[in-house]
Structure 1
Amino acid sequence: MGWRQAMAVALYGPGGFFVRADGGPAGHFRTSVHASPLFGRALLRLVERIDEALGRPARFDIVDVGAGRGELLETLRGLIGGEFAGRVRLVGVELAPRPERLDAAIEWRAEMPEEIAGLLVATEWLDNVPLDAADLDDHGRLRKVLVDPVSGDETLGELVDAADRFWLERWWPEAGRVEIGWPRDSAWAEAVQRVRRGCALAVDYGHRKEARPVGGTLTGYRGGRQVRPVPDGSCDVTAHVAIDSVAGAAGTAYEIVTQREALKALGVDGGRPSLDLAREDPAEYLRRLSAAGAGAELIEPGGLGGHWWLLHTIGIDARGSMLG
């Protein structure tokens, strides 16, 4: 079968990686959400900016697509206070069953709400939207890559179709192994259309047209380690996101920055506290030192800080960058 079908079954089919009733993705790979609550605090600063731009509506939606086990929403639930707590609606969108200990105030559903006013956020969701890979045959023709779902062995199948060729000619014209990203474009465009007023934010690792990776990025993760991508449900199967293609598909105003740029604009700097504080208040120094270490991990250019933030604004006057 093609990689798109194989990924769909391995990740979301019966017993698939993301729907199993075990510990969930956090036990297999580390995302910004899992790394530190500083990520949630920074996101809350963005939420506050959006809330102000919307005129502080009676209800503000925060919808997390690909919510894992609700970790980000739990963090935000603990941070939100005052009158805003009475206006906010927290919604997790995930195919896995509702986590047993999830806060009762968090709504859990398999489908996105039809209408969203506030923030739609997707952290490392698009990289798991299934796609096909293609490669050149001996005659220089692009053919779909087929994969055995048990062994992971690959062969070449039929020629890529017209839709695939159209996307590749525009977004990944280099010859060789490629990953056909239009299913991610369609998924994100549909998600953004649900936002009537507010913002849609995708956070993911990816690439742009001028720097598409030679040979593609399809890989697997299990138990914190990168592994061969065998689509048998035992590991995460993922591929980097063509972030510029995804951005253009939604048809709304957007900005793309690195996570490092975004988080620094939202107050995460990773700087070490002054040594004077260590003498004046050792406990506070240790607290800030720990926070600095977590912040540094989130903005490290070669790691999480290299992720892309794609932010769309819909139906509001942002008056400049929402991340500025």
Structure 2
Amino acid sequence: MWLTWRAAMEHALYGESGFYLRERPSGHFRTSVGVSPVFAEAVLRELVAVDEELGGPGTLDLVDIGAGEGVLASGVLAAAPASLRRRLRVTAVELAPRPAALPEEIVWARAAPDGICGLVIANEWLDNIPVDIVEQTATGPRLVLVNVIDGEERLGGRPGDADLAWLNRWWPMRLTGERAEIGRPRDRAWASVIVRLARGRAIAIDYAHSADDRPPYGTLAGYRDGSTVAPVPDGSCDITAHVALDACAAAGESAGAVTTALTTQREALRALGVTGRRPPAELAGRDPRGYLRALARSSEEAELIAPGGLGGFGWLSQTRQGLRR
């Protein structure tokens, strides 16, 4: 069966027996959430900052979109001081069934709630929102079709006018054979998050690129069992493509965001106290176990902020209702 890549990804990832309805992400790829509790602790510090800027509302929201197995939501809840935890309403947004071991306090939902007052985190969510792929030809962009059984590709028709307009603004192709991933579905998804944010901050964290460094042949990839594989949309693997976060930022502003910051995970986490600094060598002599614990933590922090790895992820932070950062 030949489909556009967007339709094929939708079926492979979220259709009946799709990858994300059947598999647990931790078995297939490593994310910041799974590296260390340090990531959840940094998110908690961000949440505390938002709480202070909001003036300590009676109910403070933490919404984790694309929650996977609920590790981030559980980690933030566990690390939160009792005084904050009493006011905290945690919602994990995920299509897969609720994990059996998830704390009862966490609401498991298929969509983000309305009227969020607090912090939204979307960690590696946008890259799994299906997109169409186009290839530049001598007569203009053409949609790429894919055989869902074996991943073979061929060219289809022209994209629609709205997609062509998006390409012209955000990802113009100049040479025959170049490819682009049309990010309009991601823009709409992110705008829907901003609309649901009544007061507070929303942060998208993902593999990303910007207008001045678009990859000329796209970023489509597959992952299974911890390894990169051919992106065959048969439901056997994760299929992902990097995110045009600058386009998402513009969509968020159109939806009501009043401030926007685009940075890297390295810079964002360093601002939240994640430095990767090794413990002083003299600690090994007076507290060997403490030294080993501190050394392990510094190694985890270093992985989270490594420029060529997780630290290179893009962070898009937008606020509503006058929060400033």
Which band: TM-score by shorter chain? over 0.9
Supply the distance in 1 between the matched residues of 2:82 and 2:71 (Cα, whole angstroms).
21
1:83: how far off? 1.1
Partner of 1:17: 19
Instruction: Give the TM-score of the pair, scaled to structure 2.
Output: 0.96
Q: How far apart in 1 are the matches of 2:262 and 2:33? A: 19
1:268 aligns with 2:274: yes
Partner of 1:182: 184
Residue in structure 2 matched with residue 74 of structure 1 by the alignment: 74
- Look up the match of 2:140: 141
Matches within 5 A, 1:127-276: 127-137=127-137, 139-175=138-174, 176-251=178-253, 252=257, 253-276=259-282
Whole-Å Cα distance in 1 between the matches of residues 291 and 281 of structure 2?
8
Partner of 1:27: 27
2:123 and 2:206 in contact (8 A); partners too: yes
Q: Which amino acid aligns with 1:93?
A: V
Identity of aligned residues (%): 49
CA contact (8 A) 1:54 1:316 kept: no
Cα drift, residue 174 of structure 1: 2.5
SS in 2 for 1:173: coil
Please name the residue that 1:298 is paired with.
304
Would the aligned equivalents of 2:201 and 2:323 in 1 still touch at CA under 8 Å? no
CA distance in 2, matches of 1:174, 1:264: 35
Runs of 4+ in 1 over 6 A off after TM superposition: none
Question: Matched residue of 2:198: which SS?
Answer: strand
Quick one: distance in 1 between partners of 2:139 and 2:269?
Answer: 44
Check conservation: 1:144, 1:159, Cα contact below 8 A. yes
- How far apart are residue 178 of structure 1 and its match? 0.8
Task: Check whether the contact 1:185–1:246 (CA below 8 A) recurs between aligned residues.
Answer: yes
Counterpart Cα distance in 1 of 2:323 and 2:262: 18
CA distance in 2, matches of 1:71, 1:93: 12
1:7-50 Cα shifts (integer Å, max 9, x gaps): 11111111111111x4x011100110111110111111110000
Tell me the residue number matched to 2:62.
62
Shift of residue 317, structure 1, vs aligned partner: 3.4
Rounded to whole Å, the distance in 2 between the matches of 1:71 and 1:31 is 11
- Give the whole-Å Cα distance in 2 for the aligned partners of 1:258 and 1:144: 31
What's the secondary structure of 1:99's corresponding residue? coil
| Partners of 2:200 and 2:323 within 8 A in 1 | no
How many Å apart are 1:112 and its aligned residue? 1.3
Corresponding residue of 2:4: 2
Q: CA deviation at 1:114?
A: 1.6
CA drift of 1:78 comes to 1.0
**Are 1:263 and 1:299, in contact at CA under 8 Å, matched by a contact in 2?**
yes
Residue 99 (1) aligns with residue 64 (2): no
Whether 2:13 is the aligned partner of 1:36: answer no
Cα RMSD of the aligned pairs, angstroms, is 0.9
Q: Is the 8 A contact 2:136 2:173 kept in 1?
A: no
Which deviations, in whole Å up to 9, do the C-alpha atoms of 1:221-268 show, x marking residues without a partner?
Answer: 001111110011110100000010011111122101100000000000
| Aligned pair partner of 2:293 in 287, 294, 305 | 287
Query: Quick check: 1:89 aligned with 2:89?
Result: yes
- Give unpaired runs (5+ residues) of structure 1: none
Q: Which runs of 5+ in 2 are unaligned?
A: none
What SS does the corresponding residue of 1:310 show, helix, strand or coil? strand
Deviations 1:136-166 (A, max 9, x none): 23x3421000001110110000111101110
What letter is aligned with 2:94? E
The DSSP-based 3-state class of the residue aligned with 1:108 is strand
Determine helix, strand or coil for the equivalent of 2:316: strand
